[in-house]
Amino acid sequence: MSVNEITLALDISRQYVHRVLLDLEEENLIVKVGIAPKVYYSALEAPKSSLNEIITYENEMYLNKHFITIDPLGNKLEGLSAMVYWCERQNLPLIKTVDEFIQTKEKYNSFFNEAGLINGTEKLRTSKGIGNICVDELYYLDFYAIERFGKTRLGTLMHYAKQGQNKDLIKIIVKEVKQRILSLTQTLEIDAVLFVPPTISRKIQIMNFLEKYLALNIPSVKIDKIKTPIIVPQKALSKIFERVSNAKNTFFVPHQKKCNHVLIIDDAVGSGATINEIACKIKEKEIAIKVTGLAITGSYKGFEVISEL
């Protein structure tokens, strides 16, 4: 039902309806579907048993920081409510699953350095088929996914922001990553930045919005994405040599003002081929002495196809 229908059916004020609906949403008794002006509310079945299990305050705060999921109706669930939904969907015990999630997440957290970055340089250098390594260092802000629990918080936000063309999720991503990126540019004395241009035309290009909202206030390196008769995105290529060839032959870096240290930013890194080939072209043109790559999310394994992005 819509708010208007509830108001007419019960003969009460809209303000009171909104207040009660908000309370019912917080108690996970109803779900809101749609966005203004077309919003409807449906009743949900009460949770079977999960909410009767007692979660410690520390574990609940940990979930609030690290766990997020999107339900089939497009509702963003965070923290404990997200974990309750996830457990009930898979018929798993809540407390045990929370403990297992924390243990798994802590294992992956060990890869982060003091600046909150994951160093993916060695993974790139040991990947067979990449060829000449031109990027000096490669970092991720988070893994795209972890074992068993799937996409990380940042991986989930990135996936739905890009696939759903969602500006609000892009703003959330920027809010969560901006300080780490700013700190990196200062620590490494970055004096120019390059945002990897998209392959597929979309109404909302996530890299353009990241560039706008990050507002790094440093010069940009120009790069052109060459159009081909048939567009072949990196995510469609399962072989490392195909990805290297694609990146080598579809990006063009024109001669431009020289700088010392360029930061290349991309939304996700699976093989590292795109960032590395762009770094090679920058150094071939002697535009910069050093090149560092940064991905919002990256793979944990060696060469891994992140086909969803």
Per the domain annotation, does 273 fall within a domain? Answer: yes
Task: Give the residue from 89, 110, 131 where a domain finishes.
Answer: 110
Judge if 134 and 232 occupy the same domain: yes
Judge if 160 and 244 occupy the same domain: yes
Judge if 252 and 187 occupy the same domain: yes
In one-letter notation, the amino acid at residue 64 is N
Residue keyed to tokens 């892009």 = 170
The least confident of 109-113, 244-248, 257-261 is 244-248
Judge if 144 and 2 occupy the same domain: no
**Does the CA dihedral 296-290-223-284 come out positive or negative?**
negative
Residue keyed to tokens 């290349």 = 264
Omega before 72 within 30 of 0, i.e. cis? no
Per the prediction, the chain carries an average pLDDT of 87
Using CB atoms within 10 Å of the CB of residue 23, give its burial: 0 to 12 exposed, 13 to 18 middle, 19+ buried. exposed
Judge if 219 and 162 occupy the same domain: yes
Q: What are phi and psi of 263, to 5 degrees?
A: -110, 120
Judge if 126 and 271 occupy the same domain: yes
CA 76 to chain centre: 14
Per the domain annotation, does 303 fall within a domain? Answer: no
Judge if 153 and 263 occupy the same domain: yes
Virtual torsion, Cα 185, 118, 253, 199, nearest 10 deg: -120
Domains identified in the chain, total number: 3
Judge if 122 and 100 occupy the same domain: no
Tokens of 235: 């995510």
Q: What is the pLDDT of residues 200-253, one digit of tens each?
A: 676 777 888 889 889 999 999 999 887 776 666 666 666 767 777 877 888 899
Per the domain annotation, does 309 fall within a domain? Answer: no
Q: Over 90: is that where the pLDDT of 199 sits? A: no
SS3 per residue for 15-62: HHHHHHHHHHHHCCCEEEECCCCCCEEEECCCCCCHHHCCCCHHHHHH
Per the domain annotation, does 101 fall within a domain? Answer: yes
Judge if 15 and 58 occupy the same domain: no
Could you give the C-alpha distances from 65 to 60, 116, 155, 199, 250, in angstroms and in order? 9, 14, 14, 32, 39
CA 175 to chain centre: 12
Judge if 142 and 277 occupy the same domain: yes
pTM: 0.81
CATH number of the domain encompassing residue 7: 1.10.10.10
Give the pLDDT mean for 48-60. Answer: 74
Judge if 93 and 208 occupy the same domain: no
Per the domain annotation, does 306 fall within a domain? Answer: no
CATH number of the domain encompassing residue 136: 3.40.50
Residue keyed to tokens 């930013």 = 265
Alpha helices in the chain (DSSP H): 3-10, 14-26, 57-66, 79-90, 94-109, 121-125, 153-163, 167-187, 206-214, 240-250, 273-284
Residues in the chain: 309
Domain assignment of residue 28, given as a range: 1-46
Q: What is the pLDDT of residues 148-185, one digit of tens each?
A: 999 999 999 999 998 888 889 999 999 999 999 999 99
Task: Give the residue from 110, 126, 142 where a domain finishes.
Answer: 110
pLDDT score at 75 = 85
Judge if 15 and 133 occupy the same domain: no
Q: Could you give the 3-state DSSP secondary structure of residue 286?
A: coil
